[in-house]
């Protein structure tokens, strides 16, 4: 799995050698004098290129096409309609020819000068504007003041029409109004094409740095000019190494670094979390998280994501903290960030942002037991980013006024994406069989289907389980451990008794069915509740971490009541002790060990006829000492100090349950 993880990551990471220098505008160059190993052009800044583009767009005039066919069409239509209008208005036929000729000549004059269709976006706040007039494939510069609009063309016709007869004048003007159309038409496609060609020809460089020329000297402040030279040098270096650098050696370097990081993770797991190291499912989840996060980074670099801070790196520590623990979450997050730092600009700044935010994410989610905790954690992460952003900006700029607040938006988006951790946690739980605190809270809800069925079929067992849960949870909380896991295990540890509830004393109301059975058979019925419990909980798809409590809560002890009864009543018969012994295994963790003790103590306390302080004290001491003598606690890491603490808690809680009064010494 390690090899696959390393190969997948390194196969997709960028393969060009990395530029070795980090620099910031306004900071001091702390490296040795940097001399250019090759000649390169100095790139313009984005602002300079944008200014050049704006100047090009402003200098290119809109192009208007002179269209001859407009006059031809309107002239022909005008002459055809003239005779009809003249006759319909019963005007003097003797004046028709001369007025037709004069008015047509005026119309021709207007069209020859040109009628423009004014475009408001070309005016730019002015009434008149320059444009290029394309006529017979010859372009000339013109102004909208030098040509007609439809309105000025009609005004020209009215002013220059020479006739004293108002009827004739009105007829010609009315006819002209319907035949004055723009013949200077804006050619948007041609204008855009010329603009595009001009924009393509804009130079992105200004000046050169020659081979052997000093770029920046040691302890020199990086001003605007030097900064642009360094940016240009880095861009040229990256372009050259793509074609010059040996991809195989770059790949080897990546394999060494990523392999070393993954090895560190394995060493950490072997030394401090052997349970995960030995569990292939959990191990594959960790490697999947690392691989997925770095593949997302690779995708972002490949497709030139506008800002790499959009990637929610804090989702890694959140998921690992909730599914595992704080140390592993911090360790894994640091390893992911260290690898990512090789492939992002301003790597130190990147590592600082993500490390501090990841630490805050881990600290803010102690236990995910409420839905709002993710939102609270997101607000803490955003605050961490904000503090880092303002601090770094002040170090760089030295002024609040120069902080570009818009650059903080990617962090906001990243924090919002980190909320995806919640559905991912659920998916990982299902796929990899890991139990989070959220899942345990759902399991400890006594209204869920299986516990309701237990309460209905075996009410005595259900009440016993509740008391065991309270005892075990209080004890594990005091000595340190997963209290939620213990409570879940306690509630389900006797769920197998649902099969034959009447065979267990806490559910019996009258005579015992064991009275009519051989001792061996009775013992097997009692022992069977462990196997049945495992079967039922697997049917309901409970996590293995909870099923472990069913397996271990009796360890490999004997069913002593029936064993001793058999010995007493059949001393002459051969006895196979294994018939009366639980299959095990014995408890293997603090949590399973505490549950075994709580179960035995609570069950035994029910047999006390007159519970008082002495009888409860003796009972707890006797039960726990017996478990030690039977080697049932050998595999769980409970110390003698832990056992003393557990005894004290059990005694205190049992006295409270049975309302035992404490005897106070009499005062003299």
Average model confidence (pLDDT) for the chain? 85
Mean pLDDT of 67-72: 89
Please report which confidence band the pLDDT of residue 243 belongs to, taking 50, 70 and 90 as the band edges: very low
pLDDT(598) > 80: yes
pLDDT(88) > 50: yes
In Å, how far are 36, 208, 528, 590, 638 from 480, measured between CA atoms?
61, 67, 32, 9, 10
Contact 143, 129 (CB under 8 A): yes
pLDDT of residue 1: 81
pLDDT of residue 624: 93
pLDDT of residue 471: 95
CA within 13 Å, CB half, 661: 3
Instruction: List, for residues 343-373, the tens digit of each pLDDT value.
Output: 887 788 889 999 999 999 998 876 655 667 7
Q: Report which listed range, 78-87, 246-255, 281-290, is most confident.
A: 281-290
Q: How far apart are CA 513 and CA 511, in angstroms?
A: 7
CA within 13 Å, CB half, 553: 33
Please report which confidence band the pLDDT of residue 664 belongs to, taking 50, 70 and 90 as the band edges: very low
Lowest-pLDDT choice from 313-327, 382-396, 650-664: 650-664
Instruction: List, for residues 513-548, the tens digit of each pLDDT value.
Output: 887 888 888 889 889 999 999 999 999 989 888 999
pLDDT of residue 16: 59
Q: Are strands 214-216 and 34-35 parallel, antiparallel or unpaired?
A: antiparallel
Structure tokens at 115: 């009628």
pLDDT of residue 395: 78
Please report which confidence band the pLDDT of residue 15 belongs to, taking 50, 70 and 90 as the band edges: low
| Residue closest to 545 by CA, chosen among 371, 373, 323, 374 | 323
pLDDT(667) > 60: no
Q: Report which listed range, 41-50, 134-143, 468-477, is most confident.
A: 468-477
Q: Is the dihedral of CA 224, 229, 233, 236 positive or negative?
A: positive
Structure tokens at 161: 């029409």
pLDDT(245) > 70: no
| Residue closest to 492 by CA, chosen among 542, 539, 456 | 542
pLDDT of residue 330: 92
| Residue closest to 177 by CA, chosen among 148, 153, 146, 160 | 153
DSSP conformational letter for 64:
E
pLDDT(486) > 90: yes
Mean pLDDT of 650-654: 92
pLDDT(438) > 60: yes
Mean pLDDT of 621-632: 92
Residue, of 233 and 490, whose pLDDT is higher:
490
Output the pTM of the full model: 0.60
pLDDT of residue 668: 36
Q: Report which listed range, 318-322, 461-465, 566-570, 610-614, is most confident.
A: 461-465
Contact 134, 63 (CB under 8 A): yes
Mean pLDDT of 8-21: 70
pLDDT of residue 466: 94
Lowest-pLDDT choice from 52-56, 141-145, 280-284, 663-667: 663-667
Q: Report which listed range, 7-11, 270-274, 499-503, 593-597, is most confident.
A: 593-597
Lowest-pLDDT choice from 23-27, 151-155, 453-457: 23-27
**How big is the CA angle at 415 (ends 412 and 417), to the nearest 5 degrees?**
110
Pure H helices in 245-325: 247-272, 274-277, 280-302, 315-323
DSSP conformational letter for 143:
E
Structure tokens at 229: 């030279």
Q: How far apart are CA 135 and CA 132, in angstroms?
A: 10
Residues of the chain with pLDDT > 90, as a percent, come to 27
Read out DSSP for 503-554?
A: GSGGG-SSS-GGGGS-HHHHHHHHHHHHHHHHHHHHHTT--HHHHHHHHHTT
pLDDT of residue 564: 81
Q: Going by C-beta distance under 8 Å and a sequence separation of 6 or more, which residues neighbour residue 489?
A: 472, 545, 546, 548, 549, 550, 553, 591, 592, 595
Q: How far apart are CA 484 and CA 438, in angstroms?
A: 10
Mean pLDDT of 141-147: 89
Mean pLDDT of 137-159: 88
């Amino acid at each position: 799995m390690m090899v696959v993880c390393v190969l997948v990551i390194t196969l997709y990471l960028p393969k060009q050698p990395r530029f070795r220098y980090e620099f910031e505008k306004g900071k001091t160059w702390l490296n040795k004098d940097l001399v250019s190993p090759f000649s390169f052009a100095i790139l313009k800044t984005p602002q300079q290129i944008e200014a050049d583009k704006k100047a090009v767009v402003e200098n290119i005039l809109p192009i208007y096409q002179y269209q001859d066919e407009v006059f031809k069409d309107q002239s022909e239509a005008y002459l055809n309609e003239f005779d009809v209008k003249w006759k319909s208005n019963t005007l003097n036929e003797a004046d028709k020819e001369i007025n037709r000729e004069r008015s047509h000549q005026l119309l021709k004059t207007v069209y020859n000068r040109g009628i423009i269709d004014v475009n408001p976006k070309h005016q730019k706040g002015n009434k008149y504007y320059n444009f290029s007039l394309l006529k017979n494939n010859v372009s000339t510069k013109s102004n909208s003041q030098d040509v007609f609009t439809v309105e000025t063309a009609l005004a020209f016709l009215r002013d220059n029409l020479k006739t004293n007869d108002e009827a004739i004048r009105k007829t010609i003007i009315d006819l002209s109004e319907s035949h004055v159309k723009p013949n200077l038409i804006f050619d948007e496609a041609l204008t855009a094409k010329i603009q595009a060609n001009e924009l393509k020809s804009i130079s992105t460089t200004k000046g050169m740095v020659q081979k052997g020329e000093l770029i920046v000297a040691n302890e020199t402040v990086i001003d605007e000019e030097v900064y642009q030279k360094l940016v240009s040098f880095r861009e040229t270096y990256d372009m050259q190494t793509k074609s010059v650098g040996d991809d195989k050696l770059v790949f080897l370097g990546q394999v060494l670094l990523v392999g070393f990081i993954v090895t560190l993770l394995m060493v950490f797991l072997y030394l401090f979390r052997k349970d995960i190291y030995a569990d292939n499912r959990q191990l594959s989840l960790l490697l999947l998280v690392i691989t997925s996060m770095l593949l997302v980074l690779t995708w972002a670099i490949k497709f030139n994501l506008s800002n790499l801070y959009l990637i929610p790196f804090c989702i890694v520590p959140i998921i690992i903290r909730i599914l595992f623990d704080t140390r592993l979450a911090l360790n894994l997050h640091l390893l992911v960030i260290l690898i990512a730092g090789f492939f992002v600009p301003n790597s130190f700044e990147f590592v600082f942002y993500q490390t501090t935010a990841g630490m805050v994410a881990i600290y803010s989610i102690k236990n995910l037991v409420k839905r709002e905790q993710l939102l609270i954690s997101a607000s803490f992460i955003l605050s961490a980013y904000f503090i880092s952003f303002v601090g770094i900006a002040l170090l760089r700029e030295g002024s609040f006024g120069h902080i570009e607040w818009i650059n903080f938006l990617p962090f906001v988006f990243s924090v919002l994406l980190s909320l995806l951790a919640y559905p991912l946690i659920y998916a990982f739980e299902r796929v990899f069989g890991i139990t989070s605190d959220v899942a345990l809270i759902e399991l400890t809800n006594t209204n869920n289907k299986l516990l309701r069925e237990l309460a209905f079929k075996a009410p005595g067992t259900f009440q016993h389980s509740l008391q065991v849960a309270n005892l075990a949870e209080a004890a594990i909380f005091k000595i340190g451990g997963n209290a939620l896991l213990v409570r879940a295990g306690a509630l389900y540890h006797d769920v197998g008794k649902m099969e034959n509830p009447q065979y267990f004393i806490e559910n019996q109301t009258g005579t015992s069915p064991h009275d009519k059975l051989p001792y061996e058979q009775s013992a097997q019925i009692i022992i069977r509740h462990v196997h049945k419990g495992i079967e039922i909980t697997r049917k309901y798809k409970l996590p293995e971490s909870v099923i472990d409590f069913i397996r271990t809560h009796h360890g490999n002890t004997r069913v002593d009541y029936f064993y001793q009864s058999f010995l007493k009543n059949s001393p002459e018969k051969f006895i196979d002790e294994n018939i009366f012994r639980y299959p095990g295994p014995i408890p293997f963790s603090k949590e399973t060990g505490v549950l075994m003790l709580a179960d035995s103590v609570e069950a035994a306390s029910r047999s006390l006829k007159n519970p008082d302080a002495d009888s409860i004290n003796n009972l707890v001491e006797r039960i726990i000492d017996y478990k030690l003598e039977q080697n049932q606690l050998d595999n769980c890491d409970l110390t003698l100090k832990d056992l003393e603490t557990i005894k004290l808690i059990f005694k205190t809680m049992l006295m409270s349950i049975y309302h035992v009064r404490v005897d106070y010494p009499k005062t003299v």
